[in-house]
Every structure is written in C-alpha cells, then in structure tokens.
C-alpha cells in the first residue's frame, strides 16, 4: 500500500499488503475519523493526514485469524467494529491461553513494538489475534507506525525502549521467582505427605524379606518331617484358605480378641508349638480358631505340626505386609495424582473442570500445614463442570486455605462449602 501523498520529511514509503477481504477499492478513514480514535486524538492535522494516507480499512469474518504468534509483525491494527480475542501459546504442552478479548473501539493489536527495530529486536507478533465476531480494523504498516512513534515522539520512544527492555527483565525475574515459590509450595507439601507412605514401604519390604526367609526355613522343616505329598498339599490348602480369608475376617471386640488369643496360645503350647503367645495374635486376626488347627494335628502328627503352624504364620504375616506395601504405594500414586491435578501438568490451560477436584488436590498439597485442624467438606456434588483455568483456580484455593490456616493457628474446624451461585447456571459459589 503506497502513501497517497507526501508525508513529513524522512517518512518511509508504504508497502502494499494483502487485503483479507479480497480485490476491491481500498477504504480509508478521513483525518477527522481518525481523530475519533483515542490513539490519534491528540495528533495535529498533518500527522492525521499522513496516517490517513497510509492506513486502510480491512475486514475479517468471525473465526478468522488476524495474525499469528511468532510470525513477522508487518502490521498494526486498530479495532473499529466487532470483538477480538488475543491468546498466547503456553510452554511445555500447555496449549493456548486466551489473554483477553475486547470490543472497545480503538483497541489495538499487532506490531506493538515496531519502534524497537533500531535496537535490533526481532519484530514478531507476540500473540495470536482472532476475530470473535465479524470485525473491521484500521490497518497500518508496522514500518510506518514505528517511524511515526520514533520521529513524532522521540522522548516517549526512548522511555518506551527503556521500559520494554527493563520491563522484560523484571518480568522474567518475577516469573522465575513466582515459579520457584509455587514449586516450593508443591514440593514441601508433596515431600511431607510422601514421607509416611514411602517410609512404610521401606519398613514393610524389610520385614517381608525376614518373613520370607522364615517361611523358607519352615518349609524345609516340613520337608524333613517326613510328610508325604498328600499331607503337604493339605498344609498348602490351609495356608491358601487362611490367606484368602484374612482380609475378610470378622472384627472382634478387644475382649473377645484377648480371650481367643489366650485359648489358642494355650492350645498351641500343648501341641509342641514354641512361642504360642507370639503367633496366636496373627492366627486370631486371620479368623482362625482351635478347631481350624486341630485337623492339621490329626493329619500331620505332632512332629510336623509345629512347622506347619510356622509356615502358616509366616504366610499370613507376609500377606499382611504385601497389603501394607500395596496401600502405601496406592497412597503415593494418589499423592502424585493430586500433585498433577494441582499443577495441571500436561493439561490444556482452559478445561471443563469440577471445582471439587482442585480443592481436594489443594488440601492434599497443604496437608502438612493442617496439623490438628478438622476439615469439613460440605460439597454440592450436583454442581456442573465449569469452563475455567484450573491451575489459576488451584492457586486461589491455595491462598484462601493458607490464609484460613494462618488465622486458625493450628486448631479448629475448616469448612469448605460449594453451592450453586445466584448469578446463573454457569456459576458456582465456593466459601
């Protein structure tokens, strides 16, 4: 697009640009029309004439991409009619994040920093702009708008260069600090919560190894006792049945448990089982009684019976330890899932979310700070999913819960309630 007349001394020539509306006469704004836009309201008549000669009106249909982040920034756009949305890509596979949208006449987008070309800054579009509705823009070549800013407002241009370079450095420093603070919050909570199940796994696996070695010894004693294959099969069946039933054994009162342990320990001592008082609790916890073991005495005889009982006890203890490891590993998996939910790692920033998932993940991450505080979750599970930015919401929950815990000084009841909001179907109340 070539300027229609001479401009201020030293003005750069314009350049033709593709017309998004297709071939046709170029529509331009008059200087008086330009003056109605807040960006140009204070320009003098010559400056308005110069811009009017270089700017043209372009139109984009709803859904069209006006410019794309990362591409060379060739144009500066001023919104005349319609609604636009600006977005940026999120690093690390986070998708695209909408920054804002506007229908304000005079809102601008495109080559914001055309005036930075003299300091060697690459001129690219810093965001992607889309037409939400049919839109009309005043389009100006980036070279022209950059020249105008630097030559019409030299002091302001110098100030903006300083603000841009220092502002980027300050923003980068602040962003790094904020990321480190957020990482510290997640790491502190996760480390504290992972410590107990991880310690349980280490302790249980060490004990499991001891039980397995003991089991091998009892199996060797059984083999040396001279029992035949039929008798060994009967022992294996008793062990298998006892292990299978252990998890569903009835819960006894402390008094009933003590009575059964006393009865079984005395009976075991009378049948040659050393340390009957030590093994009776394991057998009773699995739901076994004297009658269940008496059949083994009749089948194996007094010589092999103690080894059979030892094998049974070690098998039950090993199974209990495997169950403990499984539960601890499940707890670790759940904590990692909560951390992923909290940080929204590998997920698009804008999602359909259930606010309760984020609140629960936040409580997990802050579990080390709860202390003696009782948490009441008064959730309305019928609430619909919302289109929102869950990572940002999780930061809101973090701040609210953290502030509440500070005010409670380590004791009391923290109630988190969700309910429909009065504003409409697409809003929820969290308090």
Q: Closest by alpha carbon to 375, among 366, 386, 384, 385?
A: 366
pLDDT band at 347 (very low <50, low <70, confident <90, very high): low
**Residue 345 CB neighbour total at 10 angstroms:** 12
pLDDT given for residue 15 in this prediction: 39
pTM for the predicted model, two decimal places: 0.48
d(CA 97, CA 389): 9
Highest-confidence segment of 238-252, 313-327, 341-355: 313-327
Q: From CA 293, how far away is CA 273, in angstroms rounded?
A: 12
Q: How confident is the model at residue 117 (pLDDT cuts 50, 70, 90)?
A: low
The band of 4, judged by pLDDT with boundaries at 50, 70 and 90, is very low
- Here the tokens at position 328 are 């601890």
Nearest to 362 by CA among 319, 392, 320, 383: 392
State the pLDDT confidence band at 103, using cuts at 50, 70 and 90: very high
Convert the pLDDT of each residue in 154-176 to its tens digit. Answer: 777 667 666 666 666 666 677 67
Res 106 pLDDT > 60: yes
Over residues 46-73, mean pLDDT:
93
Which range (8-12, 195-199, 278-282) has the least confidence?
Answer: 8-12
Residue pair 115/140 in contact (Cβ under 8 Å)? The answer is no
């Amino acid at each position: 697009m070539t300027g229609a007349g001479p401009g201020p001394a030293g003005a750069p020539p314009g350049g033709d640009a593709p017309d998004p509306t297709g071939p046709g006469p170029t529509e331009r704004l008059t200087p008086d029309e330009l003056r109605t836009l807040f960006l140009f309201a204070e320009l003098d008549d010559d400056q308005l004439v110069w811009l009017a000669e270089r700017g043209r009106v372009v139109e984009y249909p709803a859904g069209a991409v006006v410019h794309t982040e990362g591409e060379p920034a060739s144009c500066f756009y001023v919104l005349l009619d319609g609604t636009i949305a600006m977005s940026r890509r999120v690093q690390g596979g986070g998708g695209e994040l909408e920054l804002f949208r506007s229908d304000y006449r005079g809102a601008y987008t495109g080559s914001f920093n055309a005036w930075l070309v003299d300091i060697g800054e690459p001129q690219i579009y810093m965001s992607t702009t889309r037409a939400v509705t049919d839109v009309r823009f005043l389009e100006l070549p980036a070279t022209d708008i950059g020249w105008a800013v630097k030559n019409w407002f030299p002091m302001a241009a110098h100030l903006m260069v300083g603000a841009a370079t220092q502002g980027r450095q300050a923003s980068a420093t602040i962003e790094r600090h904020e990321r480190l603070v957020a990482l510290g919050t997640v790491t502190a909570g996760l480390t504290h919560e992972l410590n107990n199940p991880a310690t349980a796994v280490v302790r249980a696996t060490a004990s499991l190894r001891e039980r397995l070695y003991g089991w091998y010894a009892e199996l060797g004693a059984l083999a040396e006792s001279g029992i035949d294959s039929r008798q060994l099969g009967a022992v294996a069946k008793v062990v298998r049945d006892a292990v299978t039933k252990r998890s569903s054994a009835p819960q006894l009162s402390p008094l009933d448990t003590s009575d059964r342990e006393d009865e079984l320990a005395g009976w075991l001592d009378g049948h040659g089982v050393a340390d009957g008082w030590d093994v009776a609790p394991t057998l009773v916890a699995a739901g076994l009684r004297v009658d269940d073991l008496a059949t083994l005495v009749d089948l194996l005889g007094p010589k092999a019976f103690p080894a059979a009982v030892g094998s049974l006890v070690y098998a039950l203890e090993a199974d209990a330890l495997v169950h403990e490891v499984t539960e601890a590993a499940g707890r670790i998996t759940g904590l990692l899932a909560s951390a992923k939910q909290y940080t929204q790692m590998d997920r698009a920033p804008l999602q359909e979310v259930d606010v309760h998932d984020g609140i629960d993940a936040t409580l997990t991450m802050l579990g080390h700070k709860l202390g003696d505080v009782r948490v009441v979750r008064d959730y309305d599970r019928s609430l619909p999913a919302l289109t929102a930015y869950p990572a940002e919401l999780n930061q809101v929950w973090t701040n609210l819960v953290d502030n509440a815990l500070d005010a409670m000084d380590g004791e009391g009841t923290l109630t988190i309630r969700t309910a429909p909001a009065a504003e409409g179907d697409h809003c929820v109340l969290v308090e």
